[in-house]
Amino acid sequence: MKNIAVIGAGTMGNGIAHTFAQSGFSVKLIDISEDSLKRGMDTIARNLDRMVAKEKISESDKAITLGNIKTFTNTEEGVKNADLIVEAATENLNLKLKIFKQLSDICSNDTILATNTSSISITQIAAVTSRPENVIGMHFMNPVPIMKLVEIIRGYNTSDEVTSTIMELSKTLGKVPTEVNDYPGFVANRILMPMINESIETLYNGVAGVEEIDTVMKLGMAHPMGPLQLADFIGLDVCLSILNVMYDGFKNPKYAPCPLLVNMVMAGKLGVKSGAGFYDYSESRKAEKVSKQFVK
Which residues are known catalytic residues? 118, 139, 151, 189
Contact criterion met (CB below 8 Å) for 197 and 258: yes
Alpha helices in the chain (DSSP H): 11-22, 34-53, 59-67, 75-78, 93-106, 122-126, 160-172, 188-204, 210-215, 221, 227-234, 236-250, 259-266
> How far apart are alpha carbons 240 and 261 in whole angstroms?
7
> How far apart are alpha carbons 293 and 132 in whole angstroms?
47
Which residues are CB-neighbours of 208 under 8 A, at least 6 positions away?
202, 216
SS3 content of the chain, % helix, strand, coil (to 5): 50, 15, 35
Q: What are phi and psi of 253, to 5 degrees?
A: -60, -15
- How buried is 102 (Cβ within 10 angstroms: 0-12 exposed, 13-18 middle, 19+ buried)? middle
Question: Omega into 143 within 30° of 0, i.e. cis?
Answer: yes
Contact criterion met (CB below 8 Å) for 6 and 29: yes
Q: Which of 147, 9, 33, 29 is nearest to 90 (CA)?
A: 9
What are the Cα distances from residue 178, in Å, to 98, 137, 157, 168, 170?
A: 27, 11, 18, 11, 10
